[in-house]
Amino acid sequence: MSRPVQALNVVSWVLLVMVFGGCSSMSNRIAIDVSYNEGSFSYTGDGSASGPMLVSALGPAGIAVGVAIDQGIASTIEQGLGSSNPFWLDEVRGKVESFVNESCRANAELPNLCAQNKLEVMIDKLSLVKRQEKMELGVQFRVGGLSRSSEIAIVSTADEVKANQTQLIDAISQAVVEGLIAADS
C-alpha cells in the first residue's frame, strides 16, 4: 500500500470514530416509565361543601351524603380517564419524556435529571379540588424512592374535566414535569 492510501485509511477511520462516537453521545435519551396507583383519585367539591347544610335535613348522615357525592364524582372521573383513553399513562409518559429529553439536549440546568438513563415515576395520588370557580389538580408521585408533589390550576368545572380527559392528561403531565424540575433544583 502506498503512503497516500495508508494516510487516507487512517483519516477515514478517525472520521468514522468521531462521527459514531459523537452521535452516540448525543443520543443519550432518558427512558421514563410512569405507573399509577389505581383507585387513588380523589375529588373535593360541592358535595363536601354541601355536607354541613345537609346535616340540618338528614342529621349526621348529611355529611356522609356530601362526601359520597364527591367520591362518586372522583370515581366517574377516574373511570372516564381509563375508559376514554386506556393509554393515558403512555400519553403522560410521552409528554414527560419529551420535555426531559429536549431540556437535557438543550443543556438546561437539570444536572441530576439529565444524568439519569431511566426514571421510574409512580403516581401515588391524584386529587382534584374545587376552589371557587377553578379546579386545582394535585399530583403526588415518587421518583427513585423520593416523594414529590405538585399542584396545577385547571380552569374548568368537574363536568368539563369529565368530558375533556385531554386537559386532565396535560395537567397531570405538567404537574409531574414541574415536580421533577423542583426535585432537581
Residue pair 88/165 in contact (Cβ under 8 Å)? The answer is yes
**Residue 82 pLDDT:** 73
Residue pair 72/80 in contact (Cβ under 8 Å)? The answer is no
Longest Cα separation, the chain? 103
**pLDDT, mean over the chain:** 78
Pick 185 or 176 by higher pLDDT: 176
**Residue 63 pLDDT:** 81
DSSP code for 86: T
* Residue 173: all three cell numbers together: 403531565
CA distances from 178 to 62, 78, 91, 105, 106 (A): 38, 22, 17, 18, 17
Looking at this protein, which amino acid is placed at residue 168? L
Q: How far apart (Å, rounded) are the C-alpha atoms in residues 102 and 116?
A: 14
- b/e map of 90-104 (b: 16 or more CB within 10 Å)? ebbbebbbebbbebb
| Residues constituting the chain | 185
- Is pLDDT at 181 greater than 90 in this prediction? no
**Residue 78 pLDDT:** 84
- Residues 169-180: pLDDT tens digits? 898 999 999 888
- With a CB cutoff of 8 Å and minimum separation 6, the contacts of 82 are 88
Pick 164 or 36 by higher pLDDT: 36
Relative to beta strand 118-131, strand 41-44 is: parallel
**Residue 84 pLDDT:** 60
Averaged pLDDT, 88-103? 91
* Residue 174: all three cell numbers together: 405538567
Averaged pLDDT, 31-44? 87
Q: For the purposes of burial, counting CB atoms within 10 Å of the CB of 167, is it exposed (0-12), middle (13-18) or buried (19 or more)?
A: middle
- Residues 7-30: pLDDT tens digits? 445 444 444 444 444 433 445 788
- Nearest alpha carbon to residue 85 among 166, 1, 172, 2: 166
